[in-house]
Amino acid sequence: MPEVASFGEHVAERLAQELSSDLVGVYFVGSVALGGYVPGESDIDIVAVSDSALTGQDKERVAAAMVEVSADCPARGLEFTLYRREIADSAPQGADFEVNANGGPRMPTTVHLDAAAEPGFWYVLDRAIARRSGLTIAGPPASTVFADVSRRTLLTAMSESMEWHRVHERATLYSVLNACRAWRFVAENILGSKLEGAAWARPRWPHPDVIDAAVALRRGQPGGLDEAAVDALLSRVAAELAHALSGRQPRQCTRCTAQGAL
């Protein structure tokens, strides 16, 4: 994916201009790092690390630069997050970012500068992906910059994400695919791509049509999702996460029946 690599370098160059020697590193996370990138459909997720905290003015300047550079994104859009090194190298407690800025050809522009006002689970997952699978664009390896994230912290973040999806995204491809990835993590402790999660979950769910529909939508194909079918899957995964968080032994991941799904 030379266009993705070139864009990553463009982002890193712009960050170096804005942060100078305070820039520690820049990394691909998300689908690019996990091998689930779909050209033309995926976002490009990039995280960066600064050596120190940014002033309010510096945050605004970096956010504006990332929104500007996102116009050249070869994908749906850029999802960018900057952390300070002290935070990246610590166990995550919440969002804890310096800057979060998203935008691009087919993505609404959003800028968040107050981490305390944002749900933390997205950022916990991204930092775990950075530690385990982050691809270096500039700087030292991600595994030397980001602290590891415990299984329990990830289970909690995934449980919170299921609750969020059931309120805010009741029938979207993202709710289905995030649920599949979380279910696989519960069973196998693998933090893989959403599409890998879907492939894993499909033979284990009695109504695979809902997973097939989400995968089709992810690949840019036409389709729709039934809200009740999505909610049933989310309920099952929420129950699996709760079971794992309770400390009890993992349940068998055999194909379940609709009656036993919860």
Inter-residue contact 246 to 238 (CB < 8 Å): no
Whole-number pLDDT of residue 170: 80
Nearest to 225 by CA among 165, 170, 182: 170
| Whether the model pTM is above 0.85 | yes
Cβ–Cβ < 8 Å for 154, 136: no
Alpha-carbon distance 224 to 226, whole Å?
Answer: 7
CATH topology of domain 2-144: Beta Polymerase; domain 2 (3.30.460)
Phi, then psi, of 222 in degrees rounded to 5: -70, 150
3-state secondary structure 197-238: HHHHHHHHCCCCHHHHHHHHHHCCCCCCCCHHHHHHHHHHHH
Q: Could you give the C-alpha distances from 28 to 23, 31, 68, 69, 80, in angstroms and in order? A: 15, 9, 19, 16, 10
Residue 261 is predicted with a pLDDT of 39
Degrees, nearest 5: CA angle 200-159-150: 85
pLDDT value, residue 93: 85
pLDDT at 251: 59
Q: Give the separation between CA 106 and CA 103, rounded to whole angstroms.
A: 8
Cα–Cα distance, 62 to 17 (Å, whole number): 10
Max CA separation in the chain (angstroms): 58
Question: pLDDT means per 10 residues in the chain (262 residues)?
Answer: 95 97 97 92 95 96 98 96 97 94 96 95 96 98 97 96 90 94 97 96 96 94 91 96 83 46 36
Domain range annotation of the chain? 2-144, 151-245
